[in-house]
Structure 1
Amino acid sequence: MTSSHLGLSAIVTGGNSGIGRATAAKLMTEGAKVLVVDVQPEPSWTAEHLRYYQADVAAEGSPAGIVACAIDHFGHLDFLINNAGMVGGSEVENMADDVWDRILDVNLKAVFKLSRAAIPHLKNSSRGRIVNIGSIMSRLAGPGMGAYTTSKHAVAGLTKTLALELGAFGITANYILPGAIVTGITGPAIAADPGFTEFWTQKSAIGRLGQPEDIANAINFLLTAEAAFITAHGLAVDGGVMVNP
């Protein structure tokens, strides 16, 4: 274990699997204590410096409860990683209101509400950081992905606003734009359609799909003291997909 984050604490939403789990694990190897938040009733893994909080991030009262839990366990909060998210929907013409609302609630409103709840505590940190998970769809678009794309564009705008509002307190806010990453969300598509892997591998300059650890490493960097002058930035971790349309 190294000590880049020794004595610091983090909230990681959607931390029971995929990118969130890889991120929480990475932060703990760097010395952080982590509150993992997930909708699943039980944690899928344990670690010495891990605490688990079961919650739907979009549920009423969840953001305040999540932050209160972190403060109760750790006494302070330094990092907020808004990773929880969902995909789905249909073409706009056929989009049901409840599907649209649910995607925006999880992908956008929960990010706003958790950030709002965390800010008073981040202001007390010597290294306050917010990292939100956007998507390459924060810059692109695709048919049948209207709600998801809208939510991720909005996350980019929210993050930039947070950066401007919080910079005077030494807090940075950035967002990650993952490309095609092997997670529980993409797993069914990979299993069902061999063309999925082929398509994204061919678009990637690196020639492979991304792994959760690729995203976790990028998030970890943005949390370090060395990244103190990086804020309002969208960091693409996509293997070069966006330059190869």
Structure 2
Amino acid sequence: MKIVIIGGTGLIGSKLVAKLGEHGHEAVAAAPNTGVNTLTGEGLAEAMKGTDVVIDVSNSPSFEDAAVLEFFTTSTGNLLAAEKEAGVGHHVALSVVGTGRRPDIGYFAAKLAQEKLIRESGIPYSIVHATQFFEFGQRIADGATTGGEVHIAPVAFQPIAGDDVARNVGRTAAGTPLNGAIEIAGPKRCRMDEFFRGALAAWGDPREVVTDPHARYFGAELTELDLVPGDGAVLGETTYEDWLKTA
């Protein structure tokens, strides 16, 4: 199959290109630096020619509420229109666990708007809701730092390795459209504050992790199950400890 990966030069996209290629698919990386821009529409029509499946793992360069909403609605709208014109048979999108539970979080609201466009497009689709990636741990810790302390809420947390995300998204893309969503997560559930306490120690980072029920994540306070999947989620194979050995 010809599979076009939007955001194909990024963290998950590059892994997808490699994994799908290993399985005999024609995996095409599509991103602004390869001449495909979903915001402007540049290169989209050409990229869609002969395409069987489109995987969208692109992300907004800004996480500010208005900017991220504009990115996902504009990009997805242009992409779906090009897919429809070309007769693409399966649209796969990577989203976030918890979008439906916390639409008051700006980033989640933007992903929810993206999902609505996909569901209403008429194109067969699959949505993969993933938990936070191990690879973004440092970014999350930095965003939670105040005065040299990392303030983290004591809520459930179940992050996943990028390789496991790519593996599951690739399997979904190669299969029959779900016309629905699945959830994927890491193999271990823990408390978010405890995870970061252990992670910073493993990094040799001297910052103190402070357990703070009022700590904010994307600008909002979290409740216990906001970031973790429900029953039936597909679990990754890689623990954080094993991931650290190769990171």
Q: Which residue number corresponds to residue 109 of structure 1?
A: 74
Counterpart of 1:138 in 2: which secondary structure? Answer: coil
User: Structure 1 segments of 4 or more deviating over 3 A?
Assistant: 190-200
TM-score (structure 1 length as normaliser): 0.64
* Letter matched to residue 57 of structure 1: T
Match of 2:229 in 1: 242
Aligned length: 186
Contact 1:176 1:234 in 2 (8 A): yes
Deviation at 1:180, TM superposition (A): 0.8
1:176 is aligned, of 128, 145, 154, to 128
C-alpha contact (below 8 Å) 1:79/1:129 kept by paired residues: yes
Distance between the aligned counterparts of 2:31 and 2:38, measured in 1?
8
Secondary structure class of the residue paired with 1:134:
strand
Do the aligned partners of residues 203 and 155 (structure 1) sit closer, same or farther apart at CA in structure 2, a change above 3 Å counting?
Answer: same
- The alpha-carbon deviation at position 195 of structure 1 amounts to 5.8
Q: Deviations over 1:177-199 (max 9, x none)?
A: 1111134x554224676968996
Measure the CA separation in 2 of the matches of 1:89 and 1:191. 16
Specify the code of the residue in structure 2 equivalent to 1:21. Answer: S
Cα deviation, 1:61-93, whole Å, max 9, x if unaligned, reads 32xx2231453xxxx111111111125226xxx
Pick the structure with greater CA Rg. 2
Whether 1:157 aligns to 2:116 is yes
2-side partners of 1:78 and 1:25: how far apart? 18
Partner letter of residue 77 of structure 2? F
Q: Distance in 2 between matches of 1:203 and 1:186?
A: 12
Equivalent position of 1:93 in the other structure: none
Asked if structure 2 preserves the Cα contact closer than 8 Å seen for 1:58 and 1:105, the reply is no
Q: Does the aligned pair in 1 maintain the 2:31–2:37 contact within 8 Å? A: yes
Displacement after TM superposition at 1:140 (Å): 2.7
> Shift in Å at residue 131 of structure 1?
0.2
Distance 1:222 1:17 in 2: 19
After TM superposition, give the deviation of residue 12 of structure 1 in Å: 0.8
Q: Give yes or no for the alignment of 1:133 onto 2:114.
A: no
Q: CA RMSD in A?
A: 3.0
Q: Is the 8 A contact 2:69 2:113 kept in 1?
A: no
The sequence identity of aligned pairs, in percent, is: 14
Q: Is the 8 A contact 2:52 2:90 kept in 1?
A: yes
Deviation at 1:55, TM superposition (A): 4.2
Q: Deviations over 1:114-161 (max 9, x none)?
A: 1210123335xxxx2110122124223276x32x22211122222222
Equivalent position SS for 1:19: helix
Structure with greater helix share of residues: 1
The whole-number CA distance in structure 2 between the counterparts of 1:199 and 1:22 is 32
- Tell me, which stretches of 5 or more residues in structure 1 are unaligned? 1-7, 42-52, 91-99, 167-171
Q: CA deviation digits over 1:100-121, x for unaligned, max 9?
A: 1x31232222112112101233
Report whether the alignment pairs 1:203 with 2:179. Answer: no
Q: 1:54 aligns with which of 35, 39, 49?
A: 35
Question: Unaligned 5+ residue runs, structure 2?
Answer: 190-227, 232-247
